[in-house]
């Protein structure tokens, strides 16, 4: 099932490429709140049959304004440097940070982004007015957690997944010659975590360790890889994170970007495609505030 959030935190399923609103099936205590998907995901055994029973041909996707499919996770977790070729390109880059070490999957670790950085396909990536700085696209697959999870192992980790989405980890790059491992601020500007256009439930994704992922800017291919190349796999990342902290329904793990990161500027149109999920297209503009 593909589930989208749109408008005023309305919830819809995407059926035959059209948006069928299911908001009326949702508990009024949660309906039209930014927490609605946390509730839907936690109680999905209840909601899946309700959603499936909604009739109607729906409306064109282009006629609604899409939000992120998990708009308000308790935790927005991100893997750094999880593709070898991206580690290589950053090591040779003027944007090189304090340390780029590839060890075992358990050495990958993670960082946290602000939940306020999340936006959806109906928004735009808004670049803050910082003179002389570069903002880079990072094409990633996002994992959305389906159940409260603590201390998972790689063997059972996928049982905790609700679904998958396209996720961009927009990043303010370091100033030339400044070596810093700081990531949280540079990746937490508002709109710096576009997600969507929807979440695909885990039962429909196929083999999550074999999905093509690519990104174009104004139609030009910038990134192209496959999730088979992840150093820390999806189960690895869930094991790592859930042995640090409890994961909650709706939590998001950004799995890291492959090589080919590069700048985006005002006026660009960026499209991230992940196999079996779909295409997330975002406009880029200068922040108005």
* SS3 (DSSP) at 126: strand
CB of 258 to Mn ion, least distance (A): 10
**Minimum distance from residue 82 beta carbon to Mn ion (Å):** 8
Nearer to Mn ion, 216 or 257 (CB): 257
How many Å apart are CA 24 and CA 38, to the nearest integer? Answer: 17
Q: Select from 89, 169, 236, 251 the one that contacts Mn ion (CB under 5 A).
A: 169
The window from 38-46, 85-93, 161-169, 227-235 that contacts Mn ion (CB under 5 A) reads 161-169
CB–CB of 12/58 below 8 Å? yes
Taking the least distance from each CB to Mn ion, the nearer of 149 and 257 is 257
Residues 188, 68: Cα–Cα separation, whole Å:
16
Peptide bond into 146 cis (omega under 30): no
Among 123, 126, 138, 251, binds Mn ion (CB under 5 A): 138
Please give the Cα distance from 125 to 266 (Å, whole number).
Answer: 9
Among 206-214, 254-262, 265-273, 276-284, the segment contacting Mn ion (CB under 5 A) = 254-262
- The smaller minimum CB distance to Mn ion, of residues 63 and 93, is found at 93
CB of residue 181 vs Mn ion: minimum separation in angstroms?
13
Is 89 a binding residue for Mn ion by CB under 5 A? The answer is: no
Contact region with Mn ion (CB under 5 A), list: 14-22, 126-134, 198-206, 256-264: 256-264
Q: Give the nearer residue to Mn ion in terms of CB position, either 41 or 282.
A: 282
Grouping H, G, I as helix, E, B as strand and the rest as coil, residue 142 is strand
**Residue nearer to Mn ion on the CB measure, 30 or 83:** 83
Q: How far is CA 192 from the centre of its chain?
A: 10
Q: Could you say whether residue 257 binds Mn ion (CB under 5 A)?
A: yes
CB 268 within 8 A of CB 124: no
Query: Side-chain half-sphere of 15: how many Cα atoms within 13 Å?
Result: 15
Cβ nearer to Mn ion, comparing 26 with 141: 141
C-alpha distances in Å from residue 142, one per residue of 76, 155, 288: 10, 20, 28
Point out which residues bind Mn ion (CB under 5 A).
Answer: 138, 169, 257
């Amino acid at each position: 099932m593909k589930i989208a959030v749109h408008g005023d935190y309305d919830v819809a399923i995407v059926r035959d490429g059209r948006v069928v609103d299911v908001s009326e099936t949702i508990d009024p205590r949660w309906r039209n709140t930014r927490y609605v998907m946390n509730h839907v995901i936690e109680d999905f055994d209840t909601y899946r049959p309700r959603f499936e029973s909604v009739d109607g041909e729906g409306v064109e996707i282009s006629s609604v304004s899409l939000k992120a499919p998990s708009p308000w996770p308790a935790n927005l977790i991100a893997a750094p440097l999880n593709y070898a070729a991206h580690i290589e390109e950053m090591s040779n880059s003027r944007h090189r940070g304090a340390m780029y070490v590839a060890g075992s999957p358990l050495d990958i670790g993670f960082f946290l982004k602000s939940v306020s950085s999340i936006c959806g396909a109906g928004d735009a990536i808004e670049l803050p007015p910082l003179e002389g700085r570069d903002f880079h696209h990072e094409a990633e697959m996002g994992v959305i957690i389906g159940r409260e999870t603590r201390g998972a192992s790689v063997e059972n980790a996928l049982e905790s997944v609700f679904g998958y989405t396209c996720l961009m980890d927009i990043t303010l790059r370091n100033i030339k010659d400044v070596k810093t491992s700081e990531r949280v601020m540079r990746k937490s500007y508002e709109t710096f975590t576009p997600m969507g256009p929807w979440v695909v439930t885990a039962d429909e994704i196929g083999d999550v360790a074999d999905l093509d992922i690519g990104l174009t800017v104004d139609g030009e291919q910038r990134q192209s890889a496959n999730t088979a190349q992840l150093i820390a796999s999806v189960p690895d990342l869930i094991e790592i994170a859930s042995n640090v902290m409890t994961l909650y329904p709706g939590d998001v793990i950004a799995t890291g970007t492959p090589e080919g990161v590069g700048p985006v500027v005002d006026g660009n149109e960026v499209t991230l495609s992940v196999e079996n999920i779909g295409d997330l297209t975002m406009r880029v503009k200068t922040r108005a505030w």
